Structure 1
Amino acid sequence: MKITVDIDCTPDEARTFFGLPDVKPMQEAMMSQIQERMTASLSAMEPETMLKTWLPAGVQGMEQLQKMFWAQFAGAGRRENKE
């Protein structure tokens, strides 16, 4: 035998029924604090400084790789012109 029961309620009603606390005010307070801190940090940094902070090795590594490729291409062009 199989019995199915459908209960139609909102998440707030289900939380109250099971006795779970309402954490929405705490979440809103924490999110506002996080937003304030991020806004203060972002406004204090210049775009170039932000990129170097977030991607220190990646950006510098890509710049070095690009310089190496350009040097190789320039060297290959000089050799072809001399021959």
Structure 2
Amino acid sequence: MKVNVEVTCTPEEARAFFGLPDIKPMQDRIMAEIEERLRSSLGAMNPETVFKTWLPASMQGVEQMQQIQQAFWSQLANIATGKKD
């Protein structure tokens, strides 16, 4: 014997039937607080800080790599010309 039962109800009705709490008010408060924190932190950031935050760490080292490269070529030129430091 096979019995099929089909129930049509809203999520609120299902929560009430199973005795689960309605957490929608708590979710709304948390989402409002998250939104407020995001807005305040974004408003406090200047474009340079935002750029550095979003820029991957590997890209932040490009300037340092350029300095190392310039020092290397400068040392190589000094060796080629016979200059001493």
| TM-score under structure 2 length normalisation | 0.65
User: Match of 2:2?
Assistant: 2
Q: Deviations for 1:26-46, whole angstroms, at most 9, x for unmatched residues?
A: 000000000000000001102
Q: Deviations for 1:10-30, whole angstroms, at most 9, x for unmatched residues?
A: 000000000000000000000
User: Match of 1:33?
Assistant: 33
Instruction: Give the share of equivalent positions with the same residue, in percent.
Output: 59
Structure 1, unaligned runs of 5 or more:
68-83
How well do the aligned residues superpose, as a CA RMSD in angstroms? 2.3
Structure 2, unaligned runs of 5 or more:
67-85
Paired residue type of 2:10: T
Aligned positions of 1:1-83 closer than 5 A: 1-61=1-61, 63=62
Q: How many residues align?
A: 66
